[in-house]
Copies of this chain bind each other. A is one copy, B any other.
Amino acid sequence: MTRRLVVIGADAAGMSAASQALRVAAHLGRDLEVIAFESTEHTSYSQCGIPYWVAGDVDGADALVARTAEQHRANGIDLRLGSAVTSIDLDAGHVVVDGGSGEQRVGFDELMIGTGAEPILPDWAREVPSVLAMKTMDDGAAWRRLLAATDGQAPESVLVVGGGFIGVEAAESFAKRGVRTTLVTRSSEPMAHSLDPQMGALVRRGLEDLGVEVVTGAEVSGIESRDGLIGAACVSGVEHRADAVALAIGVRPRVGLARAAGLPLGDHGGLVPDDRQQVADGIWAAGDCCEVWDRLLESHWYTPLGTHANKAGKVAGTNIGGGTARFAGSVGTAITRAGAAEVARTGLLPAWAGERGLDAVQVTIESTTAAGYMPEADPVTVSVVGERGSGRLLGGQIVGGRGAGKRIDVLAMALWSGLTAADVVDADLAYCPPFSPTWDPVQIACRKLDTAVRDPGR
């Protein structure tokens, strides 16, 4: 008997699940039919690449596509683009789909929800052209068109609203295009939800070195529209001239369908799958419409990242196909770039540790990405957090020059394995003058942390 999997949303999570389900089912000799509905005309593309496409770093939209619709179809997935699912009936086991020519019911044995996230839109941003997010392929295409306009409509200045990862990446992309760029954030420094202010200040400097004006502690309350472009934005009562506005105040799980179907949502507004990625019997979910288990917070958290979408989608697919897989969770690792500054974080900020009742100790060190005497040596700042007494590592942040950012993976691996600061100091990391000081900067930080969390005389 052929079972049918219906997938809603044909991006990272949905298509990872679809592909993996077919692969595992075939291996187990089970018949599985997979139909994937996608409301847009795009599938399996890199949302994270959009700012770099806008910046001109990426050749064309096609380059962002990891797998085309044709490739998915050749792999046996019945992929239907431009087909919006309008409702889910869990009891009847069908979805209603609008493919452009009227609605149609499609039954399922298993349902995979991969509806992703949607940008948060403030009231002032609605219905105004030249206020665009920077999330989807269509957003990217709109920015590319706007920036390339030859009728005098190309914006000379852009206001980026929001200082998180996407805001920083958007600001970098505009600055690299030579557009006068202002970034506005409510917080005292950029990336306040991810970094301590001292590290956020280094991000700000990275942006400022690119020519971006960073306005902190400020909020956009309204904009003045002018045919096609923006005229000015009101930023905490001060008028800022801007021809266009990039909205990057965050995203939230796109769960309208799931909510309407009666599926429960979590504290952060997302679906809350178990570690098999199941949200109800035969109903699976993964990606940005879900909350993610955080191993350090020991709770679900909203961490919309492509890495989790891919992993959790694959886990869902394995289970749907008849295999067994479990999603191991997140430790909150993330990385980006602000001009020449590589910016990375993992684990808990001291404040978060405090909220969890942990006695957290933080130390910050400055070092170099290579041996100090090498031309490759760029400054790097590493901040690490550990638990007083036990020395257990709780988190880390890195901002620095080339080669700084991916060092966060050492701390992420340490968090993954529950290591102490002393363990990281002992670890056998790679050293050679073009790549590191003799003690890697993360080890220098952990050495200082090890002293701070224990008897200071060690």
Chain A residues with a Cβ under 8 A of chain B: 12, 24, 27-28, 46, 48-49, 52, 57-59, 63-64, 66, 305-307, 310-311, 318, 323, 327-337, 342, 344, 346, 371-375, 402-403, 405-410, 412-417, 419, 423, 425-436, 438-440, 457-458
Bound CA–CA A409/B406 (angstroms): 10
Rounded to whole Å, the gap between the CB of A331 and the closest CB of chain B is: 5
Q: Which of A48, A327, A331 has the most CB of B within 10 A?
A: A48
Q: Which of A24, A337, A409, A410 has the most CB of B within 10 A?
A: A409
Rounded to whole Å, the gap between the CB of A72 and the closest CB of chain B is: 17
Task: Knowing A323-B457, A416-B428, say if A433 contacts B48 (CB, 8 Å).
Answer: yes
Residue of B nearest to A318 (CB): B458
Residue of B nearest to A16 (CB): B438
* A406 close to B407 (CB less than 8 A): yes
* A374 close to B409 (CB less than 8 A): no
- Chain B residues in 8 Å Cβ range of A28: 457
* A310 close to B413 (CB less than 8 A): no
Bound CA–CA A334/B436 (angstroms): 12
- Chain B residues in 8 Å Cβ range of A458: 318, 323
Q: Other than the known A46-B433, A48-B433, A346-B430, what 6 A-B pairs have Cβ atoms closer than 8 Å?
A: A49-B433, A63-B372, A330-B428, A342-B435, A344-B430, A410-B410
* A438 close to B52 (CB less than 8 A): no
* A434 close to B337 (CB less than 8 A): yes
Bound CA–CA A361/B425 (angstroms): 30
* A331 close to B413 (CB less than 8 A): no
* A430 close to B333 (CB less than 8 A): yes
The one of B46, B334, B335, B423 that contacts A416, using a Cβ cutoff of 8 Å: B423
Rounded to whole Å, the gap between the CB of A16 and the closest CB of chain B is: 10
* B430 close to A374 (CB less than 8 A): no
* B63 close to A373 (CB less than 8 A): yes
* A430 close to B403 (CB less than 8 A): no
Bound CA–CA A372/B49 (angstroms): 10
* A409 close to B432 (CB less than 8 A): no
A-B contact pairs, 28 of them (CB 8 A): A28-B457, A46-B373, A48-B371, A48-B432, A49-B373, A52-B373, A57-B375, A58-B374, A306-B431, A306-B438, A307-B429, A310-B438, A310-B439, A323-B457, A332-B428, A333-B430, A335-B436, A336-B432, A337-B434, A337-B435, A402-B402, A409-B409, A409-B440, A410-B410, A412-B428, A416-B417, A416-B423, A416-B428
Task: Knowing A52-B374, A306-B438, say if A406 contacts B403 (CB, 8 Å).
Answer: yes
- Chain B residues in 8 Å Cβ range of A413: 409-410, 413-414, 417, 427, 429
- Chain B residues in 8 Å Cβ range of A305: 431
Task: Knowing A406-B430, A427-B416, A457-B323, say if A371 contacts B331 (CB, 8 Å).
Answer: no
- Chain B residues in 8 Å Cβ range of A329: 428
* A24 close to B335 (CB less than 8 A): no
- Chain B residues in 8 Å Cβ range of A410: 409-410, 413
- Chain B residues in 8 Å Cβ range of A412: 427-430
Rounded to whole Å, the gap between the CB of A414 and the closest CB of chain B is: 6
Residue of B nearest to A327 (CB): B426
Rounded to whole Å, the gap between the CB of A285 and the closest CB of chain B is: 19
Q: Which of A27, A342, A415, A435 has the most CB of B within 10 A?
A: A435
The one of B327, B373, B429 that contacts A59, using a Cβ cutoff of 8 Å: B373
Bound CA–CA A408/B440 (angstroms): 13
- Chain B residues in 8 Å Cβ range of A331: 428
- Chain B residues in 8 Å Cβ range of A435: 335, 337, 342, 405-406
Bound CA–CA A331/B427 (angstroms): 8
Bound CA–CA A332/B431 (angstroms): 11
- Chain B residues in 8 Å Cβ range of A334: 430, 432
Bound CA–CA A375/B331 (angstroms): 29
The 7 closest A-B pairs by CB, nearest first: A27-B457, A413-B413, A335-B430, A63-B373, A328-B426, A417-B417, A333-B428
